[in-house]
């Protein structure tokens, strides 16, 4: 469903990232699930023509508000960063398939890189509402790129932050951290987003420890509703590799099935 949402705030939260909060006219587009996304018309001008997909970061059905966290990257997100409170923003969604939390789950691990924490924060809040403990490894380029520390605390997440600058984000080190958490905290599910390298690593870890695992994939998108086939990725199922559209069949997939090129 496309609605005109009112921008409540659109603030820069660090050197490269913005936080956007909007109010939607009514509850019609709820429920919104962690892992789903909205396809956003960043500007009222003809350019950029295509919408840009952003994952839901925080959901407040009671107050009809949605929040997004985004990296200012190119023409679309630069235009979005210019938008001001009280302006109307054309958002299409919620789209795609969200994360699944198993009924019997007690302790989950989220492994995020960069703005991948946006979608995984929404999952952490969902986990909290179900009394599931959430642990996190958050990877970033530099300490100044650490995002949403306050929100993670609010969601009760025990987070370990690692970064490229001091070498703590080295994949082998992250693997050791993840394996220690799996053992000590009795992790029963892994969720990842934001880095191909970490996703490959987590696929291996989940496989070795026989853990349920999901990934939220990100790919450049055209229509966002399955018509253009612009966001196809490969899935391996029953010993067969088949193409799937991230916007329609994802963006969340079982990690074990995703074929990383």
Ligand X SMILES: Cc1cc2nc3c(=O)[nH]c(=O)nc-3n(C[C@H](O)[C@H](O)[C@H](O)COP(=O)(O)OP(=O)(O)OC[C@H]3O[C@@H](n4cnc5c(N)ncnc54)[C@H](O)[C@@H]3O)c2cc1C
Q: Which token pair is 5? A: 């949402």
- Of these, 48, 156, 226, 254, which contacts ligand X (CB under 6 A)? 48
Euclidean distance between CA atoms 71 and 199, whole angstroms: 20
Exposure pattern of 123-132 as b/e (b: 16+ CB <10 Å)? bbbbbeeeeb
Beta-bridge mates of residue 3: 91
CB of 142 to ligand X, least distance (A): 17
Which range, of 124-132, 143-151, 219-227, 253-261, touches ligand X by CB under 6 A? 219-227
- Of these, 11, 129, 220, 227, which contacts ligand X (CB under 6 A)? 220
| Residue 7 engages ligand X in binding (rule: CB under 6 A) | no
User: Helices 196-208 and 171-184, interaxial angle, to 10°?
Assistant: 40
- Of these, 66, 115, 155, 198, which contacts ligand X (CB under 6 A)? 115
Is 226 exposed, middle or buried, given 0-12, 13-18 or 19+ CB atoms closer than 10 A?
A: middle
Name which of 72 and 177 has its Cβ closer to ligand X: 72
| Residue 27 engages ligand X in binding (rule: CB under 6 A) | no
Which range, of 7-15, 44-52, 170-178, 196-204, touches ligand X by CB under 6 A? 44-52
How many residues of this chain bind ligand X (CB under 6 A)?
26
CB of 13 to ligand X, least distance (A): 12
Phi, psi of 245 (to 5 degrees): -90, 125
């Amino acid at each position: 469903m496309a609605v005109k949402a009112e921008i409540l705030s659109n603030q820069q939260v660090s050197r490269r990232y913005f936080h956007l909060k909007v109010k939607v006219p009514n509850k019609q587009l709820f429920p919104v699930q962690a892992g789903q996304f909205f396809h956003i018309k960043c500007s009222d001008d003809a350019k950029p023509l295509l919408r840009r997909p952003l994952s839901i970061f925080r959901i407040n059905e009671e107050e009809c508000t949605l929040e997004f966290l985004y990296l200012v990257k190119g023409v679309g997100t630069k235009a979005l960063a210019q938008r001001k409170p009280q302006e109307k923003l054309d958002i299409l969604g919620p789209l795609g398939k969200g994360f699944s939390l198993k009924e019997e789950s007690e302790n989950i691990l989220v492994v995020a890189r960069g703005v991948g924490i946006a979608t995984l924060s929404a999952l952490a809040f969902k986990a909290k509402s179900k009394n599931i403990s959430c642990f996190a490894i958050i990877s970033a380029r530099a300490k100044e790129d650490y995002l949403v520390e306050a929100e993670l605390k609010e969601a009760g997440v025990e987070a370990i932050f690692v970064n490229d600058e001091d070498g703590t984000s080295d994949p082998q080190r992250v693997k050791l951290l993840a394996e220690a958490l799996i053992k000590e905290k009795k992790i029963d599910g892994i969720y990842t987003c934001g880095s191909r390298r970490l996703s490959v690593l987590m696929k291996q870890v989940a496989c070795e420890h026989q853990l349920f695992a999901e990934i939220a994939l990100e790919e450049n998108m055209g229509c966002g509703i399955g018509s253009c086939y612009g966001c196809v990725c490969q899935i391996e199922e029953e010993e067969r590799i088949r193409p799937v559209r991230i916007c329609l069949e994802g963006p969340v997939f079982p990690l074990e099935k995703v074929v990383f090129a």
